[in-house]
């Protein structure tokens, strides 16, 4: 098992700040949801690299996540990382920072918050959003 550096802190921004950064500051949107979630709806010009997969055995981290991100982005690129609601993106931010990415921010609330803010177009939210299968089940 690979040793990880001490978890680094990352900045979480809201969807309004993310939208502004995508429009003005040269940031890239890295969507870490599953391919199925991404295909349903996503932020324009987003790149999709799933952080986790749903398998018959449950949730499994994508073992090639960092390699797949490195094939798309340089370590000094500015990335806004998001999933459906924030959990996977938070963990992805830590991994990216631990692997030398310097400009990584987490979009709080994920794509669900993006949709709720009205940034995803005119379709009803239920057609755009997916229920998050990655939250632990409540007992």
Distance CA 12, CA 106 (A): 5
- SS3 state of residue 127: helix
Q: How far apart are CA 81 and CA 93, in angstroms?
A: 7
Residue 39, number of CB atoms within 10 A of its CB: 10
Long-range Cβ pairs for the range 2-8 (8 Å, 24+): 4/95, 4/98, 5/98, 7/94, 7/98, 8/94, 8/97, 8/98
Considering the candidates 52, 79, 83, 94, report the single residue annotated as catalytic.
Answer: 83
| Catalytic residue check, 83 | yes
Which residues are designated catalytic?
83
């Amino acid at each position: 098992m690979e040793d990880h550096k001490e978890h680094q802190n990352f900045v979480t921004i809201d969807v309004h700040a993310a939208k502004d950064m995508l429009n003005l500051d040269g940031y890239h949107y890295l969507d870490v949801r599953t391919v199925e979630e991404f295909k349903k709806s996503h932020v324009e010009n987003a790149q999709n690299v799933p952080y986790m997969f749903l398998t018959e055995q449950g949730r499994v981290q994508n073992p090639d996540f960092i390699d797949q991100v490195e094939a798309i982005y340089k370590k000094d690129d500015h990335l806004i990382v998001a999933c459906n609601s924030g959990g996977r993106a938070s963990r992805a931010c830590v991994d990216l920072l631990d692997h030398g990415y310097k400009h990584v921010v987490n979009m709080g609330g994920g794509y669900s918050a993006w949709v709720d803010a009205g940034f995803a177009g005119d379709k009803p939210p239920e057609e755009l959003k997916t229920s998050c299968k990655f939250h632990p089940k409540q007992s």
